[in-house]
Amino acid sequence: EDMAMHAAARLLLSTTAQRASRAINPAAFEAVRPLASAAAEELKRTVLYDFHVSLGAKMVPFAGYSMPVQYKDSIIDSTKHCRSGTSIFDVAHMCGVKLHGKDAVKFIESVVVGDIASLKDGTGTLSVVTNDQGGIIDDTVIQKVNDEHIYLVLNAGCRDKDLAHLNKHLSAFDGDCTMHVYDERALLAVQGPKAHIAVQKLAPSVDLSKKYFSDFFEAEVGGYPCFVTRTGYTGEDGFEVSVPNEGAVPLCEKLLAVDEADVRMAGLGARDALRLEAGLCLYGNDLDESRTPIEAGLTWTIGKRRREKCDFVGGSVIKAQLEDNSAVKTRRVGILAGGAPPRNGAIVKNLEGKQVGVITSGAMSPVLGKNVSMGYVEKAFAKAGTELKVVVRNKESDAVVAKMPFVPTKYYRPE
């Protein structure tokens, strides 16, 4: 999900007192750089760019695009709002892809680890695209529309390498499968406990009470033909809505007008805080081509049917790790730490002072009011409750391995 970002949002509060009383400083967002005119010209814009600017959004460079980091509310308020109302995120920088043909499922299973064939029509799953070494090229939500139609969304920062990888394997594929990139469509993430109220009002032809987490359907939303997936990158209930480019701004306006759903626009700052609270990975920080899905705590994405043959790219490496646990040296874990929030690259030590890991994402949680982070540690230190030390700006703070998500997820599932 959105799974959308190539650089971490840095949510920085300089003192404990400021933590409670002041908004997170958007200048600490890792992607923020001065928008020199030459650099600004090189940045791509989503179809919502002028709309963001008209609402007073602070725009920052992100994955090659000029994107909103926050609006007029603080990142803390925006994060909390998504956990109580409805938030709209522009994720149109992400790359929607259609695979079509009688061998579409066979092709996608050759490049990802998931059991796509066993999915019911109109349902999906998180999966990962792997390289020859079993490392993660990208994480992606894959929808099996039917046996001849696969819909997936790739991370913006991985677009070029992902499409090159898919095209390379498609050109060598002996079967019926073609690929289409949905550049004519935008993508909106409508997230929060009241998101279903807003979407339902604009999609009267569909009964959303019968559409569950990871379900996919096509419907008119606000009068536009949309692809809708009940998913997101916040830990809340929500929808990712693929809409024709010309409908992106009008659809946002119609959603914002649903008063009973308490809808606001939200930016990358809140999005990063929300996904971290939910224990969700950010590609480029928590996942990369040097980590396998097993090291990343994503073994569950490898379908049981797939584990026997591991007949996908990099499968031999992953099969060896599945069969010999000692081949896996590190694990991704959640970490709660005192002191200043640990950031990407902060060193993790054991109580004897030896480095045993590294932080890959960290922030002060707006909802919990304390630091939350994730990272990789040696397997012997990966158990919840293990006491550690984290080094931030040459200062050691007490830390403990914690289970994720840090904030309970609220996905809409059958009772």
The set of residues, in sequence order, having a beta carbon less than 8 Å from that of 116 and lying 6+ positions away, is: 105, 108, 109, 125, 127, 142, 144, 150, 303
Calculate Rg over the CA atoms of the chain.
21
In contact, 191 and 87? CB cutoff 8 Å: yes
In contact, 153 and 240? CB cutoff 8 Å: yes
> Angle at the Cα of 370 (from 390 to 32), degrees rounded to 5?
80
In contact, 318 and 302? CB cutoff 8 Å: yes
Instruction: State the pLDDT at residue 220.
Output: 98
Q: How many CA atoms lie within 13 A of 88 on its CB side?
A: 28
Instruction: State the pLDDT at residue 29.
Output: 42
What does the alpha-carbon distance between residue 378 and residue 356 come to, in Å, rounded to a whole number?
A: 6
- CA distances in angstroms from 258 to 173, 251, 313, listed in the order given: 47, 11, 46
Instruction: State the pLDDT at residue 41.
Output: 57
Tokens of 338: 């005192």
The set of residues, in sequence order, having a beta carbon less than 8 Å from that of 160 and lying 6+ positions away, is: none
Instruction: State the pLDDT at residue 40.
Output: 53
- The amino acid present at 290, given as its one-letter code, is S
Phi, psi angles (nearest 5°) of residue 331: -135, 145
**Is the peptide bond preceding residue 408 cis, with omega within 30 degrees of 0?**
no
Closest CA relative to residue 178, chosen from 218, 154, 148: 148
What does the alpha-carbon distance between residue 243 and residue 104 come to, in Å, rounded to a whole number?
A: 23
Chain center to CA of 275:
7
β-pairing, 238-244 vs 224-229, is antiparallel
What does the alpha-carbon distance between residue 175 and residue 263 come to, in Å, rounded to a whole number?
A: 45
Instruction: State the pLDDT at residue 6.
Output: 31
Phi, psi angles (nearest 5°) of residue 316: -65, -40
What does the alpha-carbon distance between residue 391 and residue 401 come to, in Å, rounded to a whole number?
A: 15
β-pairing, 387-392 vs 263-266, is unpaired
In contact, 280 and 3? CB cutoff 8 Å: yes
What does the alpha-carbon distance between residue 219 and residue 292 come to, in Å, rounded to a whole number?
A: 37
Tokens of 180: 């289409």
Write down the residue that tokens 């949510």 correspond to: 11
Closest CA relative to residue 239, chosen from 92, 363, 400, 89: 89
Report the phi/psi class of residue 304: left, alpha or beta, with left for phi > 0 and alpha for psi in -120 to 50.
Answer: alpha
Instruction: State the pLDDT at residue 24.
Output: 42
Instruction: State the pLDDT at residue 39.
Output: 53
Tokens of 403: 């289970």
> Is the alpha carbon torsion for 118, 2, 279, 135 positive or negative?
positive
Q: Average pLDDT of each block of 10 consecutive residues along the chain (415 residues)?
A: 33 30 39 40 93 98 97 97 98 98 98 98 98 98 98 97 98 98 98 98 98 98 98 98 98 98 98 98 97 97 96 98 95 97 97 98 97 98 98 97 98 95
Phi, psi angles (nearest 5°) of residue 107: -65, -50
Tokens of 255: 């959603």
Phi, psi angles (nearest 5°) of residue 24: -65, 140
β-pairing, 263-266 vs 86-90, is parallel
Instruction: State the pLDDT at residue 12.
Output: 27
What does the alpha-carbon distance between residue 150 and residue 100 come to, in Å, rounded to a whole number?
A: 6
Instruction: State the pLDDT at residue 310.
Output: 98
What does the alpha-carbon distance between residue 348 and residue 353 come to, in Å, rounded to a whole number?
A: 9
Count of beta carbons in the 10 Å neighbourhood of residue 277: 24
Instruction: State the pLDDT at residue 83.
Output: 98
